Copies of this chain bind each other. A is one copy, B any other.
Amino acid sequence: MKKEKLIEQLKQIVKIKGLKYTKQREIVLEVVNKSKKHLTTEEIYNHIKKKGIDQNIGIATVYRSLLFLEEVALISSITLEKGIKKYEINNETHHDHLVCIRCDKIIEFINETIENEQKNIARSYGFELMDHTMYLYGVCKDCKND
């Protein structure tokens, strides 16, 4: 998404909530937005320090910012098998994940057939479906050829 639009949204949200707009929250949001990969909290923290975006930022602030940004739905997180939590920018459309077990690459996709079948399953068990996650684990094209 465009950086300006995101920052606009963040400003609105903090205003509505009566909170403060801070440089740190903007930085964290921007790093997650710019990244093509899903990132862990530590990766985000290191990126900010190493690239000199903010030498003084504290890891606690990164944790707090990520929790906040997820709460207000600007970003979202996924938890992989080993309990590793990664963040990505929230692009509204729900998607599932194809994860390469060799290089950890994550590809996102959407599939109507599966979404529909999930609704059927939930209904048949009397569940009111709220959310779902699906991860397909395998070896990607690139890694197969190595």
A residues sitting closer than 8 Å to B (CB atoms) are 79-83, 85, 98, 100-101, 107, 109, 111, 113-114, 117-118, 121-122, 125-141, 144
With A79-B80, A83-B85, A85-B83 as contacts: A129 and B125 at CB distance below 8 Å: no
**Roughly how many angstroms separate A81 CA and B83 CA in the complex, as a whole number?**
8
Residues of B within 8 A of A100 (CB): 127
Q: Which residue of B lies closest to A118 (CB)?
A: B136
Whether A127 contacts B111 in the complex (CB less than 8 A), given A79-B80, A81-B79, A133-B134, comes out as: no
Report the Cα distance A107→B121, complex, angstroms: 11
- Quickly give the copy total for this chain: 2
**A-B pairs with lowest CB-CB distance, top 7:** A126-B141, A127-B138, A83-B83, A129-B138, A134-B134, A131-B137, A128-B139
The closest CB in chain B to the CB of A107 belongs to B125
List chain B residues, Cβ under 8 A from A137. 129-133
Q: Contacts of A127 on B, CB cut-off 8 Å?
A: 98, 100, 107, 136, 138-141
30 residue pairs from A and B, CB less than 8 Å apart: A79-B81, A79-B82, A79-B83, A83-B83, A83-B85, A100-B127, A107-B127, A111-B117, A113-B113, A114-B118, A117-B117, A118-B134, A118-B136, A121-B136, A122-B138, A125-B140, A125-B141, A126-B140, A126-B144, A127-B138, A127-B139, A127-B140, A129-B136, A130-B138, A132-B136, A132-B137, A133-B133, A133-B135, A133-B137, A134-B135
